[in-house]
A and B are shown apart, each in its own frame.
Chain A
Amino acid sequence: MKIEILGMGCANCNKLYENALEAVKLSGKEVEVAKVEDIKKIMGYGVLSTPALVIDGVVKVAGKIPKVEEIKGWIK
């Protein structure tokens, strides 16, 4: 499984990245978490609001910062 955090590096994006790392840690699963800061790549997902969180190519949320527990629920 791969989680990508889309955002151009502002505080909201960093917060979502931290939440994703924490969710992965709590899940105990082996998950790759990567930041995507290139706007062309971000727009390639059809995302028009950041931060956004993508799991295995599917955008789960955009323009919001989901809580750690919510992200953990998406990790299978």
Chain B
Amino acid sequence: MEERCLCEPNEILIFSCAGSSNVGQIANQAAVRLAQEGIGRYFCLAGIGGHVSGMIESTKAGKVLIAIDGCPVGCAKKTLEHTGFNIDEYIQVTEFGIEKNHDLNILAPDVGKVRDHVTSLVSKRRGI
């Protein structure tokens, strides 16, 4: 694996729910795609919840925080807010008309809807 210097700025940080429902997994998969496409850097929500000092301090260095939750329970949002972080862009998968259930066989078009929406929000912020 190529060793990339971590000094490159992480301007846009993406945190997602990865809960045990279809919408939690859609949120997580959308975040993975956004990271793979270079839209933002995928960060570890569990590390924030666990108060891991390295994760907390690395998050403080970010400029824009994006949180993707699966449903209105809002675990990603609450986890970040409990730790004192302000979320700049917030998305809930259920707002895209996707009903929450416990079927973990998620559909690519559902992931695509969330991915497209976040990409558009980031483009607006970048003035593209």
Contact = CB atoms under 8 A, between A and B. Distances in A.
Contacts of A8: 3, 5-7
B57 A47 contact: yes
B109 interface: no
B5 A63 contact: no
Contacts, number: 73
Interface SS of A by simple majority: loop
Contact of A49 (B3, B6, B52, B53): B6
Interface residues of B, number: 20
B57 A61 contact: yes
Given A42-B6, A49-B62, A60-B53, 14 more contacts: A8-B3, A39-B6, A46-B44, A47-B58, A49-B10, A50-B5, A52-B54, A52-B58, A62-B54, A63-B9, A63-B10, A63-B60, A63-B61, A64-B61
Interface of A: 7-8, 10, 12-13, 39, 42, 45-52, 58-64
16 contacts: A7-B6, A8-B3, A13-B7, A39-B3, A46-B47, A46-B52, A47-B54, A47-B55, A47-B57, A49-B10, A49-B58, A49-B62, A51-B7, A52-B57, A62-B57, A63-B9
